């Protein structure tokens, strides 16, 4: 992820869940077994000719380097097709932000003191001596998750390998989270959308402070394991780089919930299904329905 511009389709407005039916382009402990029930396009009320046409167009390169096409309808697997790969895990870049939101929602449902209307600084007492503390106190957790926080941050105009990019500077500090929370605040919260991987990564110390648990361990135990997701990884890599070529050592051992997660496409579909089912999975509730509802609201018209 570092040293590159994120593809344009990673634009989120609020806690975006992976709730689409079709997912394109896109280990640790024992997990609950889960196999998708299957169905044919015809029985699911879909025209197979359209699916075949989409596969032909992908194979001809009309949609760039698309790696997979997965269609889930009403909880049933209709199509699972891979292009030039076998469906192995890959970095999902900013989809990590959506997983981070889900983890906070799970923590809240499990009893952690997490209130979207609280100031983010109530969750980050270790940074109470930052120069902009008075302004930061006015930023609510809701503002952080909706990326309407008021921080000055531009990671789109230059590549991640450019020293002018705040992500370039952040990952070269000893404390990425302090770098983000200490950034200049140039407007009041909830005024404008400002995309920031750095500030989304603040979900990591927030989750750690309110659960006293490691980010990755919490993700595995509370989300991946219940969904039957067993093959995961956390590493920041350049676009196209292989596992083992990036950053795996994170400040304070906290994996950044802004980016860096690796998942299989079929496992991404499970997270989408969890949101489609309003936080329920195999008759067990993982996230409150209210958290799900707030997660899929539109808060900004960012371009």
Q: Please write down the HEC assignment for all residues of 55-88.
A: HHHHHCCCCCCCCEEEEEECCEEEEEEECCCCCC
CA 12 → CA 17, 119, 282, 296, 297, distances in Å?
9, 22, 28, 10, 11
pTM of the model: 0.89
- Residues 127 and 178 sit within 8 Å (Cβ to Cβ): yes
Q: How wide is the angle at C-alpha 301 spanned by C-alphas 296 and 303, nearest 5°? A: 115
Neighbours of 102 (CB within 10 A): 26
Q: Does domain 22-295 have CATH number 3.40.710.10?
A: yes
Residue 32 has a pLDDT of: 72
User: Whole-angstrom Cα distance, residue 229 to residue 219?
Assistant: 10
User: Whole-angstrom Cα distance, residue 112 to residue 105?
Assistant: 9
10-residue mean pLDDT profile of the chain (303 residues): values are: 32 35 39 87 97 97 96 97 97 97 98 98 97 97 97 94 95 97 97 97 98 98 97 91 92 97 97 97 97 94 66
């Amino acid at each position: 992820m570092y040293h590159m511009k994120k593809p344009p389709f990673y634009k989120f407005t609020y806690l975006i869940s992976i709730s689409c039916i079709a997912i394109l382009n896109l280990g640790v402990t024992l997990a609950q077994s889960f196999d998708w029930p299957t169905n044919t396009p015809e029985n699911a009320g879909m025209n197979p000719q359209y699916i075949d046409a989409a596969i032909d167009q992908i194979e001809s390169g009309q949609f760039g380097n698309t790696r997979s096409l997965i269609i889930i309808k009403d909880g049933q697997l209709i199509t699972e097709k891979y292009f030039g790969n076998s469906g192995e895990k890959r970095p999902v870049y900013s989809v990590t932000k959506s997983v981070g939101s889900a983890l906070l929602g799970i923590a809240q449902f499990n009893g952690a003191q997490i209130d979207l209307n609280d100031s983010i600084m109530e969750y980050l007492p270790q940074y109470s001596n930052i120069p902009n503390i008075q302004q930061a106190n006015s930023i609510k957790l809701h503002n952080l998750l909706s990326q309407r926080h008021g921080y000055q941050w531009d990671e789109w105009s230059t590549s991640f390998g450019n020293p002018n990019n705040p992500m370039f500077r952040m990952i070269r500090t000893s404390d990425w989270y302090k770098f983000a929370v200490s950034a200049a605040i140039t407007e009041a919260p909830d005024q404008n959308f400002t995309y920031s991987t750095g500030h989304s990564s603040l979900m990591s110390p927030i989750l750690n402070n309110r659960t006293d648990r490691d980010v990755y361990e919490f993700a595995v135990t509370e989300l991946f394991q219940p969904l039957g997701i067993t093959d995961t990884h956390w590493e920041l890599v350049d676009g196209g780089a292989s596992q083992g070529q990036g950053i795996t050592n994170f400040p304070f051992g906290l994996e950044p919930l802004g980016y860096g997660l690796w998942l299989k496409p079929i496992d991404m579909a499970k997270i989408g299904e969890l949101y489609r089912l309003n936080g329920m999975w195999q008759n067990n509730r993982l996230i409150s329905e209210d958290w799900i509802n707030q997660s899929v609201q539109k808060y900004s018209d960012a371009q």
